[in-house]
Amino acid sequence: MQKMTTFALRLAGVPEGRCSLIADFNLQNMDYQEIIDSVLADVSPLRGAGRVADYIPALASADPSKFGIAVATPDGVMAGAGDWETKFSIQSISKVFALTMVVRRLGEDVWKFVGREPSGNPFNSLVQLEYEKGRPRNPFINAGALAVTDRLIGFYDRPKEALLEFVRSLSGSEDIYFDKEVARSEIEHSSRNSALAYLMKSFGNIRGCVETLVDVYCHQCSISMTCGELARAFLFLAARGFNPVDGRRILTLSQSKRLNALMLTCGFYDESGDFAFRVGMPGKSGVGGGIVAVIPGHLSVAVWSPGLDECGNSLVGIEALERFTTRLGNSIF
């Protein structure tokens, strides 16, 4: 752990002579495998709790008793427990990848068409979008993600392939694909997302073809990954915008900080405040039961359990992450 924290402190600009002292104070000699094994044992009695997302038929057959957790660090530590190597549909977690790609192209101009405030409403609400004249509250509700994906489509001739390649490069895994059954199921039940897109188009906030947009967006949500792949793919947000998997800088230090801030305040829909209170990490959830979160400068952690709470977030996943930061004795706070 000493090596990992020193690496993170150097990224943050701490002088070399002070790195070891501060690293000792933070997360010295953490045995992540032992911690997540204990978390797995703690939450095992809860496995199966919650309700799977049945409004997308392809997700309705998910086994709610499944649970996986994986931790990755910028220095290459990887620890996993439970069903951490099982693929699942990442759903809204993909919104972070699309937003990152667009931020890399547009920088601060992103905020001209999407806001940065929590919504306080369901993630697919039409009411708030109408009231605010087609400008979504943030990039992580469906309307905001559709607006972001619309811009992404404008940058690439083959946007679906570009998104897959980006996620593969972040995770260091070529074995990442769209789940075709999930994508088809989402497209067949995409009336609400189409309505959101057409409403924004009426206000001039969607530029392209709505049918193409919904197709790309549904495929984006169907990306299938393991907890381990997700944890590695989010390391660039744990390492101040630098991707330790392939050595590239993905975002500037400021952009990384701001994206983490958005995940903390908006990453869990209208449960974001409670997640910050209980867990204390920036993160993003998906209705497939996945959650990924980071402690900037230290680690990323991904969990998966398909049973959802009333807000559409993994019930057991949130419980596991609360126990994880408690046992770690560290969060962003």
**Residues involved in catalysis:** 92, 95, 217, 269, 287
Residue type, 306: P
Question: How is the beta sheet containing 299-304 ordered, strand by strand?
Answer: 78-82, 68-72, 299-304, 290-295, 283-285
| Residue whose entry in the numeric block shows the structure tokens 């501060």 | 22
Residue 113, SS3 per DSSP: coil
Q: In angstroms, what CA-CA distances link 145 with 66, 178, 259?
A: 28, 18, 14
Do residues 215 and 157 touch, judged by C-beta distance below 8 A?
Answer: no
HSE, CB side, 13 Å, CA atoms: give it for residue 182: 25
**Rounded-to-integer distance, Cα 290 and Cα 95, Å:** 13
